[in-house]
Every structure is written in C-alpha cells, then in structure tokens.
Chain A
Amino acid sequence: MVELVFDKVNSVKIGLTAANCVTITNVLAFADRIVSVEDAMVRPYSVINDYNPSGVHQSHKYRELLLVLDTDWLKDTTDPASRWAYGATGQPINAAANKFAIDEDGDNTAIEYFVVAIRGHDGAETTRKYADVTTNTLWCVGETSEFSNEDGTPHQTVTFRFICLGDLI
C-alpha cells in the first residue's frame, strides 16, 4: 500500500504538448470528480431485474475538473489581454492551427495536453495526466470570475471547469 499525503498544487500545464503549454502556478484549488449521467452506474431496478437498457452504456461517465486561479494566467505578462484560454494571444491547445481553450463564438476545441503536478508533504511531485497529446477527450466548458470588495477577501478568483471523457493516463 502506498499512502499519498498531498501538500499543494505545484502547477497545471495546459496546451498542445509538454513542450508547448502554459505552466499555471497561481492555482488556489484543483478538484476532480466523476460524473455519471445516470447518477449511478446502473439504476437499481435494472440490477434487480438483471436488465441492461439497450443503447445505454454503464461506463457512460466523465470527469469534471475544476481549476481555481488567483485571478488569471497570462501568456504574456506585459499584455493583460493575453488570457491563456482565449485566442490570438493565448495558449494554443490543439494541433489544429489557432485553436484555443475558449472560442467566443463557436464550439470549444479539445485540449490535447492537461497535466496537474501535485507536491506531496515529502516534497515529491505526483503528476496526474488527463490528456497527453490526446484528441477529443478534454474540453473547457465553463469560466466564472468572482470579485469582492468586502474586507477579508483573500483572493479574487477565476474558476475554469473542464470535462474529461477519459481516465487518467
């Protein structure tokens, strides 16, 4: 048995390949959960009746990833418009030319490289690969920016949501 004690998220790398990606380090939180469209693998009555509904696959599940940043990450620190997820000045994420994580006016394109590096309490780094030059598996599906002027607000956050159709690599 190996016991893992996680300390913090070192970085989240998102892009095209290991050599062509952003290495986001201002990560406040990263979460990964399994979502099933049917809520559970099979409905109880299906189990009781030993019935597998046709056309429905019990592995029809996906991962939902949540990435919370201390505001946002820039491809170029001298250009506030160069948000990593957006086109023109952002980070390409697909082998198809000029494709970025968020398309303002059309379907988002799949992200081909997505790796999370987590530091253990002993300093060793654990990596979780959700996409490694992988096609049609992982997409950005949401972005929420939240700002507060109340006293005691520690961070102004930008939260990205992703779906990942595959398992860890």
Chain B
Amino acid sequence: MYFNSDLKAENTYDAIVVGSGISGGWAAKELTEKGLKVLVLERGRMVKHGEYPTAALAPWQLPNNNRLTATEAKDYEKQLRTGYTVTPATKHWWLKDTEHPYTETKRFDWIRGYHVGGRSIMWGRHSYRHSDIDFTANAKDGYGTDWPIRYKDLAPWYDHVETFAGISGQKEGLEQLPDGKFLPPIEMNCAEKKVRESIASKFNGRVMSVGRVANLTQDHNGRTKCQFRNLCSRGCPYGAYFSSLSSTLPAAEKTGNLTIRPNSIVNAVLYDAKAKKASGVRVLDAITKESMEYHAKVIFLCASAINSTWILMNSVSDAYPDGLGSSSGELGHNLMDHHFRAGASGEIPGFEDMYYLGRRPGGIYLPRFRNVGKDKRSDYLRGYGYQGAASRVGWQRAVKELGFGEELKDNLAVPGQWVMGMTGFGETLPYHENKITMNKAVLDINGQPTLTFDCEFKENEMTMRKDMITSAGEMLEASGARNIRLNDPKDNAPGLGIHEMGTARMGTSPKNSVLNKHNQVWDCTNVYVTDGAAMASAACVNPSLTYMALTARAAEHAVQELKRMNL
C-alpha cells in the first residue's frame, strides 16, 4: 500500500503531453515555461537534436542512388505512395506499414513516423496563417460547423509562435493570407520574378509571393541560419528549420520541468466519472510491453489528428462507451486533408546566362484568389493556393535528348532551360461521412487495435481541381511559358497531402463538436486536443502553424484554469 502510493506520486505530474511532434513540442515548451512539471509521452524511440545520421551524406555515399531496395520497399507499401518520403537517407523517420497496419474502405495515405520529434523533423515547413475568410467559411456556406474562434483570437498566438519558430516570408497585405512576424524572405530567382510580374499585370494584381517557411534566413534564438543545402528532411545539424528537436523541446528542457518518456504508447485517457475529469493516461511500454498509469491535472493530446482521435476512441468508460469525447457523434468524423498535385509546368524562355547558387528549402507561394473579394465561383466553394518554383533543369533532362559521347558530356556540363512548376493545394470540405473507425480485428505490432479509413474527395474538390489545373496553365501562358504541361494526377487520394485533420473538431456547442473554443474536450475539460484533430475546417494553407498557435493558446488557458482551480 505504502509502495503503491509512492509509485503513484512518482508517476504524477502537473501535466501530461501525449506526442512530441509540432503540437506536443509546443505544449511542452509553453507548459514547462509557465512552471508546470510536464511529462511528455512519445510512442516512438528517443532522438535528440543532432542525431541525424544521414544529414551530411553525399549522393555517392547513399546506396542505390538513394532508392530503397525492392526488399526494403515491401515494408513501406503505403508510406511509399507519396513517391518521395521513404529513402535510404530518411527511412529511419518513417514507420513500417507491416508493423503499423491500417485498413482502407477507400484509399487513404496515412504517412507518418514514430520517434521523438515526430513529423516536425520531416515536415514541409510552409507556414501560413488562417484568415477570417477561413474561420467564417463553415458558417457562411453551411459545410461543417462554425469555428468557435475568429482570427483575432488566434492572431496574438500566431505572433507568439512565429516569433519563436522563425518564419521567413514577405508581407503582401492580403486579406486571405494575413502577414506575420517574418524573418527576411528568401528571394525569388530571375524566372520567378518574371512570372510574379506577369501574373500581377495580367491577372489584376494577383500575388505570387515567396514561400513562408520555417527556415531561418538569419541566426535566431541560438539556432544557425539556413545553409541552403535543402536536405531538411534528413534533420538539420544547424537547427536551421523549426522542429521539436531543434527548438521547442530544448526550450522546455531548459526549464528543468520536462521529462520525456519515449517508447510510451498512450492507449487511453483514464476517466474519473465522479470528478468528470481525466485522472491520467494508460501507457503501454513498447519495449517491455508493460502497462502502467501516469497521472496529471491536465492532459494535452498532441499525438497527431488520427492518433489523438484513436486514443479518445479507445478511452472507453461506462459514461462514454464509444470513447471520451464521443457524445456529439463527431469523434472520428469530418476527416480532411488537402487535395493537391494538380497544376502545371512550363519552360520559361530567356535568362540563359543567369543561374543561382544554393539550394532553396522552399519555393513560391501563390495565395488563394478564388472566392476572395470580387471573385465568385459558381461551380465550387472555397479555394486553393499554389506552391511551386522555377529552376534550371539539370542532368536529369538528358535521357532523351542531348545525344551521347562527348556531345552528351558537353551538354550535361551546362544547365538546361528554366522550368516553372505550380502545384495547387486545395481546401477539402468537412464531410461527416469521411471518417475513421476502430478496427479490433486488425492489431498492430504492439497488439493494439487499429483504424479503418473511409474517406474520399467529392464533387467540390474534383471541380476545384479542374480550375487548379487550368488556372496554373493560364498563368504560365501569360508569363510566356512554352511547352506547358498540365498535371492532373488521377491517383491523388486523401492523406497524400499529409495534412490529415478534423476528427475531433472544435465547435460552438457540445452537440456539434468534440472540443470547445479552448481545445478542451467538452465532456472532460482537463483534456485538451491541440493537433490537427481540432480543425473545424481545412482552409487551403499548410496547417502546422495553426496547430502551433492553437497549442500555445490552449496551454495559456490551461495554466490560467489551473490557477483558478477549474481543472
């Protein structure tokens, strides 16, 4: 008895954060800096900043031109659907589908890795604010449920997270893409500047900006500026892009209030029906397979949209037999991603004697212009933005043309044409029927139940894609591009954007949503969910910056509520 109570004290913290990716890292930083003793539970292995084994390898030091062997690839069948994620240089960041299966009623690409830092190591780093056009979209057209917050609620928190993370970008003064606290922008190259000017002049001031990316253009908060190697996804030894490992977890560690426990699979929130509060979480140790409990006054679920939802669905009690947060009937529903890869590319004539030095870790961003201001589409709702870049084609162009022998070598030694490509990222609507459900028939390597995905793009998305393609072609044509190629990939399934969100959404009432305006589970207010699960709509911009801002805002709320003895 005595021993047990000691053990309980030993396993008790002020706050538990589940997950150590972008959201979990922020929760850990904010809560520890506000004085809470925080336990971060990460299901994957330990990784510390600097432990990036492939970061400095040259192309010839990687096997098979950095391609997996056919035998290795068998373990990554779904992770490889992106075509770019799993390589010998990065495979330690991606999980094996053979160990972590899921079931697809319809194809869904669930691309992820389990380790301290999560996907903050491999993320795309584009960082954009949602605008009030996004926060009011559900209320205006009736899809999904209204966001319980507006831009003014989140704006100071965007300021806060941008200031710490270091986002390079250019202010453009656009209603649909609010400016932020930027480090100096990465410059556009000659061809991009020409395209920017052509688009502005021929499309009534339409803006093509440079990507706003979490890559440092100057030394920042003890981290070194970008070296323009563009090898971010291997992990950056310079700490030149924002990740939990380079940024938030070291800040949390500095407070002396942080404990990280890796290999700790949280499979349930423990619900105390009398107190109507969570008392802690149940953990399965991935190594010893031992089950144990950890306790805290407040719990932050930051395990990724899908896995935080899985934890809630698996947190079954007499009060909530379908899982904690299930009372609205929305838990696991409204699954969203961005639909993308539709766009165009073309050769930009001229600038033959111009080139660049350095490999840029981002590109251009062309913010949404559809259903904004005077633009009104009759055929679809909401909008899309483009990412892209111009570059001179390298040796990869040479297979068909350029001959052989000395002629080929001479041709390889000089850069090819300037080519500009643009890929749309489109908003998907929140559909109740796009969902994940618990699958107890298929277990993962740890004996845990898995998920079944039933999600699809619908008419609004498919109609928008046609416009994404033609508009990209039109803008390239207006920029004088030649040999324009329209890209309309047919195998673009949800999940491929790796922006899954919405499965425990925020809302205005316990009847229409899982979370309230502070990201608290309506039914259990000392549980906060601040990752992609919370999103009531997807907008068309990359979502991670919004997860950061929501997390920091929720952490402040939690600390105030603890002081008020409300949790």
Q: Do A and B come from one complex?
A: no
Q: Which residues of A contact B (CB under 8 A)?
A: none
Q: Which residues of B contact A (CB under 8 A)?
A: none
